[in-house]
Amino acid sequence: MSQPEPQPDAALPELAAHPKVELWQGDTPLEQLNNLGPCLGITLWAKRDDCNGLAMGGNKVRQLEYYLGRGAAEGADTVLITGAVQSNFVRLAAAAARRLGWQPEVQLEDRVPKDDPFYRASGNFLLDQLLGTRIHRFPQGENEAAADRNLDEIAARLRSEGRRPYVIHLGLDHPPTGGLGYVEAACETRRQLQRMGREPSHVVIPSGSGLTHAGFLVGARALGWRVPVLGICVRRDAAQQHPRVLRRAREIAGLLGTGLEIAEQDVIVDDSVLAPGYGQINEQTRTAIRLAAETEALLLDPVYSGRCMAGLLHFVEQGRIPKGSEVLFVHTGGTPAIFAYQSDLAPPAIDSAAG
Ligand SMILES: *Cc1c(COP(=O)(O)O)cnc(C)c1O
């Protein structure tokens, strides 16, 4: 196997030009999955971004460090964000606001057709309430532009009351600031791998808004790390997701300002495990969640990390990730959503068996 260029301290000093607030400290663990890997015929590593230290953690903590860094530079005293009822981003934005001593305001969209009482009251939603978040309802689901417009109206109202909200929008017409957090995550991961002398052949990562996927890809390429970054579609199909991630990656590269170019073929997305759609569990995801829990006590959620693992299992089954490969799975969190999907995950037999 060819060795990487010796780069003992993979880092991108350009990141320091962007304002950042610190919401946690240290590196998240990079763990070898010694049961699940052999079970799949591969060497498997997990980057545990579910373990960063803010309010049950997850990938949005890294994104928020850069969004709220900009907010702090603008003198914000409030975070305003929009998301699904079980959004991890909303929960973590509210948590970050509390850490900084700001007020959390959130707009919750009806994005997932689920009337289940656990979905509507537990998981992230319960945590939003514990955090004392002010909740604004938005009845529409898959309409980013309308959700953003309504968000701007709420922001205008808050400003008229003398508040200074920092608004985190959904749409592509706003800068991908949070993607810088995954540029940084790629550097951190690369450093950890280099210290262990490891060189994975594939990275597998969920692809939703695309900032995690695009940010990691840009970070890797900016370091000269050529590993394929396989994005598992969790929200849109591959035909919609590919141009979105490409655009976001080019914008993030632009923010970083190294002159890095991202080629179309560098963006890889796959939607084989997406059906029936965002936030709706399927059999492959259920299998992936059980397998990770039973082999590694690795807890994955139905919307993102479980679906991403389902995508990884699919790639191995199809031979797109060949046996013997060394694979890095990026665990992006989502842990509280497990409780919101109780009806989909808990075997109903427990009650009757106990009786
Ligand atoms: C939001 C989220 C993702 C997707 O990240 P994007 O940057 O939106 O693509 C993946 N996993 C979890 C747990 C998330 O909350």
Q: Which of these ranges, 136-140, 159-163, 317-321, has the smallest mean pLDDT? A: 136-140
Residue 305 near ligand 1, beta carbon < 6 Å? yes
Q: Exposure string (b/e) for 203-234, b if CB count within 10 Å is 16 or more?
A: bbbbbbbbbbbbbbbbbbbbbebebebbbbbb
Summarize pLDDT for 199-214 with one digit per residue, the tens.
Answer: 999 999 999 999 999 9
Residue 304 near ligand 1, beta carbon < 6 Å? yes
Residue 285 near ligand 1, beta carbon < 6 Å? no
Q: What are phi and psi of 254, to 5 degrees?
A: -65, -45
Tell me the helix, strand and coil percentages in the chain, rounded to 5: 45, 15, 40
Summarize pLDDT for 291-343 with one digit per residue, the tens.
Answer: 999 999 999 999 999 999 999 999 999 999 999 999 999 999 999 999 999 99
All domains in the chain, ordered by first residue: 13-58+177-345 (3.40.50.1100), 61-168 (3.40.50.1100)
Residue 210 near ligand 1, beta carbon < 6 Å? yes
Q: Which residues are catalytic?
A: 87
Cα 247 to averaged position of ligand 1 atoms, centre (Å): 17
β-bridge partners, 30: 47
Is the pLDDT score of 7 beyond 90?
Answer: no
The closest-lying atom of ligand 1 relative to the alpha carbon of residue 212 is 7
Instruction: Name the average pLDDT for the chain.
Output: 94
The closest-lying atom of ligand 1 relative to the alpha carbon of residue 87 is 15
For residues 89-118, average pLDDT:
94
pTM (predicted TM-score): 0.95
Of 332, 338, 339, 341, best ligand 1 pocket probe by most atoms within 8 Å of the beta carbon: 332
Cα 102 to averaged position of ligand 1 atoms, centre (Å): 23
pLDDT of residue 355: 44
Spatial contact of 218 and 184, defined as CB atoms under 8 Å apart: no
